[in-house]
Amino acid sequence: MKRGTNTWITHAEAVTIIGKNSHHPVSPQYVQTLVNRGKIGMRSFRDGKQLLKRSNVEATRVAVGTGNLHHRDRATTS
């Protein structure tokens, strides 16, 4: 049985969707962290291309203060 053509999306599309749904910017690195933690399903291909599961991405919300590059600033605050 063939599945819908929009089941899998690129990392760039995931960054846009998660940022929009969370109402603040999310970095590509944080999206990869979510993939590594098993929160977003991924498909890898022989050519190195990776696609992410759209339903997981659309269900993902990231709290303000996470998912962006400002974590380095917080880490250095004493």
Reported as a single tens digit per residue, the pLDDT across 13-27 is 999 999 999 999 999
* β-sheet bridge partners, residue 30: none
Task: Name the DSSP letter for residue 4.
Answer: P
For residue range 27-55, what is the model confidence (pLDDT) as tens digits? 999 999 999 999 999 999 999 999 999 99
CB neighbours (10 Å) of residue 72? Answer: 7
DSSP category for residue 41: -
What residue ranges do the domains of the chain occupy? 8-73
Q: Integer distance in angstroms from the first to the last C-alpha of the chain?
A: 56
What's the whole-model pTM score? 0.76
**In a 3-state reduction of DSSP, which class is residue 28?**
helix
